[in-house]
Each structure stands twice: as C-alpha cells, then as structure tokens.
Amino acid sequence: MTDSPHAAESPHASQSQQVSHSESPLRLLEPARLVPLLEIHHVEDAAPLARAFVAAGLRTLEIALRTKGAPNAIRAIRAQVPEALPGAGNVMTPLDLHLARECGALFALSPGGTDALLDEAAAMADFPFVPGIATASELMKTITKGFHVVKFFPGAAMGGPATLRAMAAPFPHARFMPTGGVSEEDLDDWLAQPNVVAVGGAWLAPREDIARRDWDAIARRAESAVARHQAIRA
C-alpha cells in the first residue's frame, strides 16, 4: 500500500484498505472461535502453555503485553510451538504495535483505540489489528478508520450479548470479539450471536494455574470448552 497522501484520499484506495483491515483478522479469528487470553510472566512457561492449548484444538492465542516477559514469550511460542498462532494483546500505543510485530506476533489486539493507534495500525496494513470498542460511537470511529472487526470490551460490564444484539441492525458489517467478564457459563450466549466472530477469555488459563504450571488442568479446561462449543454447533 502506498504512503502517498493522494492515494489515501482516493475512495477506491479507502475501500481497499477497509477490506484489508476487515479480512485479515477474520482469517485468524473465525476458525478459532475461542481465544485464550494469557498473561505470561516467565518465558519458560510460554511453550508448555501454548502446547496445552494447541493439543486441545485452540491454536490462536492472545498474549497480553502487560508483563515484562510477554514479548519473549511470543518469541518462544513462535520458535518452539510452530502450530500456535500467537497474537499480542493489550496494545495501547503505536510503540506497542511495532513491538508486537517485532517480537513475532501474528496479529495485535487492543482494549480500545486512540486516533494515534488506529492511524498507525492503518498504515501497517500487512499486520492484522483488532481495536477495542465499548460503545456505538467508538465503533463508528473505528469503522471510519477502516476497521470492522473489533474487541467488545469490557463485554460483561457493557451489557453482554444483549448489547451486541442491539448493535447488529445499525452495524450489519461489524464483527465482534467480546472479552472482559466472559466466562464459561455465558459462553454459549456469546457464541450464539451472529456478529460474534470469536470469544476471548482469561478464564481458560487462570493465573493460579499458570503460576502452579498446571498445564494438565489448563488443557482439560480448554478441551471441555472446545467440546461444549462443538456440541452446540452440532
């Protein structure tokens, strides 16, 4: 994509850009449906944690960039667990976005979306990015920037699945990945929404289990969630 300001003003260039921003995250999230949100403090935990999820059938992972070990954890997963598809979460600034790509993340996600972050992500058209929204006005802003696949955060506090049902009519092309307060108990309701492309959640890998390095417990929880989702689809 050209950096020319004239190309940016072209309606054809804008339409192409919007399709790119929408389709690249969909290719990662749509097959996944469940995306574990992981907080990794120690790089040596990264590979066994990723292997536990891959074995359960969950390859797409969100590693939150809120620990010092997160960038190296992503590097370790890319090097040691090639089947995994790690993304960088909690991206707050353009610098975070560049860090995500430099450490090997295959995509990036944010709980929100400032103008600076959205503009930088739009300029990095080859790097899939999922901004976050909580309201209709925030969604309108992200759509204006060319992003139609968004995080809905904090999902539970902002009305849960009922809010996304209400947003379906005015925003028919928007697709959501709810996080924040999502649990195994309400997973079915979230995934039943046609505009929900995937659901993210820290409940799949509680901090306590990671601290104990109880990879078997994490794998069992993941397998249970996958089996439940498959049963619903059947």
Domain range spanning residue 164?
5-233
Q: What is the pLDDT of residues 20-42, one digit of tens each?
A: 466 789 999 999 999 999 999 99
Q: What is the CATH number of the domain that holds 172?
A: 3.20.20.70
Task: Tell me how many domains the chain contains.
Answer: 1
Query: Is a pLDDT exceeding 50 seen at residue 13?
Result: no
Q: How far apart are CA 6 and CA 219, in angstroms?
A: 51
Q: Is residue 20 within a helix (H) or strand (E), and if so which, with residue range?
A: helix 11-29
Q: What is the pLDDT of residues 107-161, one digit of tens each?
A: 999 999 999 999 999 999 999 999 999 999 999 999 999 999 999 999 999 999 9
Q: What is the pLDDT of residues 207-227, one digit of tens each?
A: 999 999 999 999 999 999 998
Q: How far apart are CA 39 and CA 201, in angstroms?
A: 11
Cα(first)–Cα(last) distance of the chain, in Å? 41
Name the more confident of 82 and 13: 82
The structure tokens listed for 124 are 């990095």
Name the more confident of 12 and 218: 218
Name the more confident of 6 and 32: 32
List active site positions: 62, 151
Long-range (24+ apart) CB contacts under 8 A made by 207-213 are 207/39, 210/38, 210/39, 210/40, 210/41, 210/45, 210/49, 213/45, 213/48
